[in-house]
Structure 1
Amino acid sequence: MTEATLEKLKILAAAAKYDVSCSSSGTVRRNDGKGVGNTVGGVGICHSFAADGRCIALLKVMLTNYCMYDCAYCINRRSNDIPRATLSVSEVVDITMEFYRRNYIEGLFLSSGVVRNPDYTMERIARIAKDLRRIHRFNGYIHLKSIPGASRELVNEAGRYADRMSVNIEIPREQSLKYLAPEKDHKSVYEPMGFIRQGVLQCQEDKKKMRHVPRFVPGGQSTQMIVGASPDTDRDILLTSSALYSMPTMRRVYYSGYVSVNQYDSRLPALKQPPLVRENRLYQADWLMRFYQFKAEEIADESNPNLDLEVDPKLGWALRHPEAFPVDINRAPYEMILRVPGIGVKSAALIFSARRYRHLNSSHLSKIGVAMKRAKYFITCGELVAPSIADTSPEYVRRLLTARKSRGENPLQLSFDFS
């Protein structure tokens, strides 16, 4: 690797750090003995951690940080005076192969700014994946960022060689997107999402008729929304996520707390640090929608459009609906057991199974894995006599569960130096 290439790699790897939708799971690509590497397990590839706790296993880099758009929230916006660089197709391919041979990485996450037009950029991204698969026989993980506004043909070309693809929706409401990025619209984002979805579904149909069918984005697709850059509420974000999850190929929606990189732009909020707690609450709410049978409208209703930062969304829902508790562990349906704070999906399944053979009490629940310090206010079982939310009040239970020592000016916000 030359000094010039190394310098470009440093610039473009730093520019790619704001995209958090670099998931690395959902597919298995075994080596047939003729290629290089493999993607195993289908449960994610990670073997080291950065200082902030993130798993590192992918070469996360941009093809270029030049961009024709001037989005207010983006560090790579056209009007910013920052170091710019562009890697050639052959440079990205060579770097990926050399890093893999040295066991630095197990796959590639490739995104890009938009230069000239979306099709020009998408064609280069697709060519990188094609060269890795066809010329170098690379069987490792490849995650490609599809360019909004790119044509169906180029998206389909990239999908034949990628394990996962993603298109970032960025801002949940069209009105807010138009305000912060006047040159973009949601139509240009949803179109490539539709192309990917149609390609995956067509591949699944072809598999029913033919034995050997070329794979198309076997890991599905993901997207990302920026939290805190616009006045959109958590309800707006969760309603958009819920609609995206209704697509059969959408695997994950990622939430990225806005990092104030363009403080001079008056359209953006003056944040001293990213809203990390709000980001975490959105991930918890996302988990409730995906695994706990909650609807977005329940988690953040019209009277409470933003999530409570003091308590997790599940506890917040329980405190707002005291009429639903206490829940009789030995008689309640599975769906209601799932809604008890302190009971997870696995614990709820074990409770539902175990109560067929005996009457459960609090000691049984503790052995199953229920967090009794939290759950005892919302359930009845056996000898349990703890004051329930129905006997006291939601405010009293809230005070008991949120009691904590002061950790400074704002105990809910972690402090990171992003300078």
Structure 2
Amino acid sequence: MNEKTLDKLKILADAAKYDVSCASSGTSRGSVKNGIGTAAGWGICHSFTPDGRCISLFKILLTNHCIYDCAYCSNRRSNDVVRSAFTAEELAELTIEFYRRNYIEGLFLSSGVMRNPDYTMEQMLRVVRLLRETHRFNGYIHMKSIPGASRELIARAGTYVDRMSVNLEIPSEQNLKLLAPEKDYESVFAPMRFIQQGMLESAEDRRKFRSAPKFVPAGQSTQVIIGATPDSDKQILTLASALYKRPSFKRVYYSGYIPVNKNDNRLPIIATPPLVRENRLYQADWLMRFYQFKASEIVDDAHPDLELDIDPKMGWALRNPAFFPVDINTAPYEMILRVPGIGVKSAKLIVASRRYGRLNSVQLKKMGVVMKRAQYFIVCRELPMRTVNELTPQYVRRQVSQKQKKQAADLLQYSINWGE
């Protein structure tokens, strides 16, 4: 690698670090004759950074030149930063070289907006086309779709990549217009609709013809910045819930706001990224996706923001004591799933195992139930009897929040260290 290419790599890889919507999962792409690479449906875990983070994908910007002036972005046009750009040929060659050296197994490709959205999409499309057709690369590719890009370009790109993402960035259009005056929700939601339509058409074609090409087989995702605006967790989770109702949508990623532009009076002044809040949003997101919770159950008008000292599932349980205690040996799966300390796997094991006899606390523990939390919300043959005072929400909160407060404090300390 020559010195010029190395300089570009340092600049553009560093500029790409703020985009978190790049997990690789949900698709399998087998090896092909005369091709190189595969993509596994369980996700790629390949190399690690010095601080322990797994970096399975080559995460890079095509360029950090940008025509937009978004308040929250380090690459905005008014920032005095070193600018650089790869050509499509350079980036495709670099990706293949990294793969051959066993550094990476896939690519996450994003870019600043050069000239206009369509021009940028054309350049990114050239990269993935070169990888697939010229280099015969068959590994995982996640490509960022540029807001405002045309349907034709998205349709062409979708036949080459495994996943596409279009970042919302700000949870409400009013605040998006404040921080990014040149953007609007329509420019973001239009590409999302194009991707969804392409996926549905592809699924229909594949039902008729098994050889029909796949279109974005791993679905689409988006990113929301947390803490840059006063939007509540209720607004954020309601938005995420609406997105998950779309058949093509796989993930919403939450990114704690990092103050990269400290002299912009449109942005809040914070010392560290809101990592604890980000963590709670991911937990709430998990409840919606796998635990059959609705956004309105996790947050509402009376509680528009998630509690930081306890997790969202525990918060719901303490606000709804009438649902408890749950009899592990008779309750339906849906109710067992709502008990704090019981996960999806444990709930399925409980339902399957109780057909052969009544379960006790020892058996539950072996199934993976966290009894330190679950014991306050379940009835089981061998659990000790508790007084009325012990079962009040106030008492339970005191008991279970101590450990979670420590975990939150550890996460806060990590964010402080990160900021330094």
**What TM-score do the two structures reach when normalised by structure 2?**
0.96
Aligned twin of 1:297: 296
* Alpha-carbon distance between aligned partners in 2 of 1:64 and 1:163, rounded to the nearest angstrom: 22
1:39 and 1:140 in contact (8 A); partners too: yes
2:360 and 2:380 in contact (8 A); partners too: yes
**Are 1:317 and 2:316 counterparts?**
yes
| 1:90-109 superposed matches below 5 A | 90-109=89-108
Alpha-carbon deviation of 1:53?
A: 3.5
Encode CA deviations 1:228-266: one digit per residue, 9 max, x unaligned: 111001111101110110111111110100111011011
Aligned twin of 2:9: 9
Encode CA deviations 1:134-173: one digit per residue, 9 max, x unaligned: 1111111111000000000000111110011100011111
Alpha-carbon deviation of 1:113?
A: 0.5
2:333 and 2:351 in contact (8 A); partners too: yes
Alpha-carbon deviation of 1:129?
A: 0.5
Q: Please give the secondary structure, in 2, of the residue aligned with 1:165.
A: strand
* Alpha-carbon distance between aligned partners in 1 of 2:404 and 2:151, rounded to the nearest angstrom: 55
Alpha-carbon deviation of 1:227?
A: 0.5
Q: Please give the secondary structure, in 1, of the residue aligned with 2:356.
A: coil
Encode CA deviations 1:379-410: one digit per residue, 9 max, x unaligned: 11113225378853111111111225997995
1:322 and 1:389 in contact (8 A); partners too: no
Distance 1:406 1:255, change over 3 A: closer
Aligned twin of 1:180: 179
Q: Please give the secondary structure, in 2, of the residue aligned with 1:222.
A: strand
Q: Please give the secondary structure, in 1, of the residue aligned with 2:141.
A: strand
Deviates more, 1:25-34 or 1:281-290: 25-34
| 1:366-405 superposed matches below 5 A | 366-387=365-386, 392-404=391-403
Unaligned runs of 5+ in 1: none
Distance 1:407 1:318, change over 3 A: closer
Aligned twin of 1:416: 417
Q: Please give the secondary structure, in 2, of the residue aligned with 1:252.
A: strand
**Are 1:159 and 2:150 counterparts?**
no
**Are 1:24 and 2:13 counterparts?**
no
Distance 1:155 1:243, change over 3 A: same
2:206 and 2:213 in contact (8 A); partners too: no
* Alpha-carbon distance between aligned partners in 2 of 1:369 and 1:201, rounded to the nearest angstrom: 38
Distance 1:375 1:36, change over 3 A: same
**Are 1:73 and 2:72 counterparts?**
yes
| 1:16-415 superposed matches below 5 A | 16-40=16-40, 42-387=41-386, 392-404=391-403, 413=412, 414=414, 415=416
Distance 1:276 1:386, change over 3 A: farther
Distance 1:243 1:56, change over 3 A: same
Q: Which runs of 4+ in 1 moved over 6 A?
A: 405-409
1:377 and 1:386 in contact (8 A); partners too: no
Q: Read off the aligned partner of 2:11 and give its amino acid letter.
A: I
Deviates more, 1:28-37 or 1:109-118: 28-37
Q: Read off the aligned partner of 2:14 and give its amino acid letter.
A: A
Alpha-carbon deviation of 1:365?
A: 1.1
Encode CA deviations 1:47-87: one digit per residue, 9 max, x unaligned: 22224442112110000101111111111111111111111
Q: Please give the secondary structure, in 2, of the residue aligned with 1:172.
A: coil
Deviates more, 1:404-413 or 1:27-36: 404-413
1:323 and 1:390 in contact (8 A); partners too: no
* Alpha-carbon distance between aligned partners in 1 of 2:22 and 2:408, rounded to the nearest angstrom: 33
Q: Please give the secondary structure, in 2, of the residue aligned with 1:256.
A: strand
Identity %: 63
Encode CA deviations 1:247-287: one digit per residue, 9 max, x unaligned: 11111110100111011011111111101110000000010
Distance 1:405 1:34, change over 3 A: closer
1:338 and 1:344 in contact (8 A); partners too: yes
* Alpha-carbon distance between aligned partners in 2 of 1:188 and 1:403, rounded to the nearest angstrom: 45
Q: Please give the secondary structure, in 2, of the residue aligned with 1:356.
A: helix
* Alpha-carbon distance between aligned partners in 2 of 1:409 and 1:119, rounded to the nearest angstrom: 43
1:221 and 1:249 in contact (8 A); partners too: yes
Q: Read off the aligned partner of 2:418 and give its amino acid letter.
A: D
Q: Please give the secondary structure, in 2, of the residue aligned with 1:156.
A: helix
2:129 and 2:160 in contact (8 A); partners too: yes
Supply the RMSD in Å over aligned alpha carbons: 1.8
Deviates more, 1:267-276 or 1:50-59: 50-59
